[in-house]
Amino acid sequence: MFRRQNRAAVVCKYLTFNDPVLNKKFRLPMVHIRVKQGSSSFRTDALVDSGATATFIPLELMNILGAGLKPEGQPRTEDEQKKYPKYDAVGASGTFKTYHVPLESIQVLKGTSPKPFCELNNSTVIVPTVVGALHYAVLGRDGIFRKHHITFKETHEHVVFRRN
């Protein structure tokens, strides 16, 4: 039986990403986010990625929030190793080392609005140990996809979020 669902949708236009390696511009399903840890917060952009099983935040961004994560190759104290052990992750480019870091809040924003349409609280994010491994945050299926039905409209270059 068909039942009409009356859920408001949030539509976000794709954002332009300037790839520093290829020196090329791409239109991608990215959204504005605000990440928060304690009294520190900032806005950045994140790729909405249905192929990612987890949410990823670049090492550089986590350190802006005061995480104090050491990049690959730098010595770590025993306390640092206990607080943030390293794990293996598998991605399109192969296996790489990561930290699993608790994060207080990721707020998903539409355009310049300060009010989030989605908030992911007290989640664990994956942080690659190599500086520059990610050029932006990645919102994977462990977070935003559990709160919203997400539709990618490639021909119109926008992504649609409907609350579950």
Global confidence as pTM: 0.91
What's 14-62 look like in SS3? CEEEEECCCCEEEEECEEEEEEEECCEEEEEEEEECCCCCCCECCHHHH
pLDDT given for residue 50 in this prediction: 95
Unique residue bearing structure tokens 């050029």: 135
On the question of pLDDT at 22 being above 70, the answer is yes
pLDDT averaged over the chain?
A: 92
Mean of pLDDT values over 15-29: 92
pLDDT above 50 for 27? yes
Question: Rounded CA gap, 67 and 63, in Å?
Answer: 5
Paired with 162 in beta bridges are: 9, 149
pLDDT level of residue 112 (50, 70, 90 thresholds): confident
Q: Which residue, among 29, 61, 44, has the nearest Cα to 109 in the 3D structure?
A: 44
User: pLDDT, tens digit, for every residue of 124-139?
Assistant: 999 999 998 899 999 9
3-state secondary structure at position 63? helix
80: left (phi over 0), alpha (psi -120 to 50) or beta: alpha
The candidate with the shortest Cα–Cα distance to 111, out of 19, 40, 33, 50, is 33
Domains along the chain with CATH numbers: 9-163 (2.40.70.10)
Of residues 57, 50, 31, 68, the one with CA closest to residue 123: 57
State how beta strands 148-153 and 86-91 pair.
unpaired
Quote the pLDDT of residue 11. Answer: 94
CA–chain centroid gap for 46, Å, is: 5
pLDDT of residue 4: 44
